[in-house]
Amino acid sequence: MRILVTGGTGFIGSETVVELIKNGYEAVIVDNLSNSKEAVVDRIETITGVKPVFYQADCCDYAAFEEVFKKEKIDAVIHFAGLKAVGESVHKPVEYYSNNLISTCNLLKLMKKYGVHNIVFSSSATVYGVPKHVPLYETDPVESATNPYGETKVMIERILEDACKADKELNAALLRYFNPIGAHPSGLLGEDPNGIPNNLMPYITQVAIGKLDHLRVYGDTYPTPDGTGIRDYIHVVDLAKGHVATIKKLLSNPGLVVYNLGTGKGTSVLEMVKAFEEATGVHIPYTIEGIRAGDVAENYANCDKAYKELGWKAELTVLDACRDAYNFQKKNPNGI
């Protein structure tokens, strides 16, 4: 069975390609390399012994994207390709709307034209907006997002819902990721952000190797036990396995399905700092700063539905993720 993986050289996509290959699938990657490197393809081969087929193409370029569908017989698609930086999206909204929406519409047109009926979409916990309660359930309302990036996820979920209503053959899984962290245990694949990281874990690992001076903790006055923000951090290898389980589910022809992919457990910023120190033995100095605009106090998932219907649950801990992220950062101090 051959799976098209858009954005397959990125952080979550590359890990998912490894899991697909380990489970006997063939993977075909399409990526424009706007936020990843072609060297990832060789690293996937080093880990799995199999070199996935790679096309450098932009999913917004219909003609270039169609070439892939002409050459490869595709059974299902996992659609990771997209721009994902919340802050950048506020400054470049048109780039975010056009990249994320046009790529998805092109993909859906091509899937229809070439008779491909299964798609897994990378959505986000951001579609729940400011949580009215935790944990969050798939049945909680999807809110209008506070930034253009999040809005693209809300819109694409809607597009896929409508596409499934109109086409009874189409199966779509909306996977709402919570906070993916960690790296492949080999240290060959991991998160490789450009410039100063926005997200907590890559910031901590860069402090750990001395690239950044200290962590800035955004706020310690939230209504949480230690006052710092709580998130549901999921190891990227667990997340990747969730995609393999979802592909199997789609083959049972379920139409539209929605799953939270998280751990069901919240960790505060200061708990994460402690966990990192415990897992690596490296001290992380920090200062307490004001809250970051747009951040919520607490956000974690209920993941019972994924366990019940996919037989999937997260197995790795925050300590595992800290160890693997640090290993990757040490081996790749300047990224891949």
Name the residues that contact ligand NAD, by CB under 6 A: 6-7, 9-13, 30-36, 58-60, 80-84, 99, 103, 122, 124, 177, 179-180
At 269 the three-state DSSP class reads helix
Using rule CB under 6 A, residue 203 touches ligand UFG = yes
Nearest approach in angstroms of CB 177 to ligand UFG is 7
Cα 115 to the chain's mean position, in Å?
Answer: 26
* Closest by CA position to 11, among listed 97, 113, 104, 82: 82
| Residue 269 interacting partner from ligand NAD, ligand UFG, none (CB closer than 5 to 8 Å by kind) | ligand UFG
Amino acid symbol at 29:
I
149: annotated active-site residue: yes
Give least dist CB 169 to ligand UFG, A. Answer: 31
Which of ligand UFG, ligand NAD, none lies near 12, with the C-beta cut-off 5 to 8 A by kind? ligand NAD
Answer for which of 11, 80, 121, 178 binds ligand UFG (CB under 6 A) is 178
- The answer to whether 103 and 59 are in contact (CB under 8 A) is yes
Nearest to 181 by CA among 136, 228, 237, 219: 237
Who contacts 141 (Cβ-Cβ below 8 Å, separation ≥6)?
128
Which of positions 247-286 make contact with ligand UFG (CB under 6 A)?
A: 269
Q: Smallest distance from the beta carbon of 48 to ligand UFG, in angstroms?
A: 27
Closest CA to 148 of 99, 207, 106: 99
When asked if residue 86 is in the footprint of ligand UFG (CB under 6 A), the reply is yes
* Residues 110, 135 contacting (CB under 8 angstroms): no
How far is the C-alpha of 22 from the C-alpha of 49, rounded, in Å? 10
Hey, which residues between 290 and 329 contact ligand UFG (CB under 6 A)?
292, 295, 299
Least distance CB 80 / ligand NAD (angstroms): 4
Which CB, 53 or 282, lies closer to ligand UFG?
A: 282
Q: How far apart are CA 312 and CA 303, in angstroms?
A: 9
Choices 15-23, 72-80, 118-126, 237-245; region in contact with ligand UFG by CB under 6 A: 118-126
Catalytic residue from among 55, 96, 128, 149: 149
The 3-state DSSP class for residue 185 equals coil
CA 99, 154, 160: angle at the middle one, nearest 5?
80
Query: Could you tell which of ligand UFG, ligand NAD, none binds residue 9, using a CB distance below 5 to 8 A set by kind?
Result: ligand NAD
Q: Which residues contact 145 (CB under 8 A, 6 or more apart)?
A: 126, 127, 129, 151, 153, 154
Using the rule CB under 6 A, give the single segment among 30-38, 163-171, 209-217, 273-281 that binds ligand UFG.
209-217
Among 106, 126, 246, 327, which residue interacts with ligand UFG (rule: CB under 6 A)? 126
Q: Is 280 helix (H, G, I), strand (E, B) or coil?
A: helix
Spatial CA neighbour of 66 closest among 31, 38, 106: 106
Our CB check for ligand NAD shows the closer of 33 and 284 to be: 33
Active site residues: 149
Sites of contact with ligand UFG (CB under 6 A): 84, 86, 124-126, 150, 178-179, 198-200, 203, 215-218, 229, 231, 269, 292, 295, 299
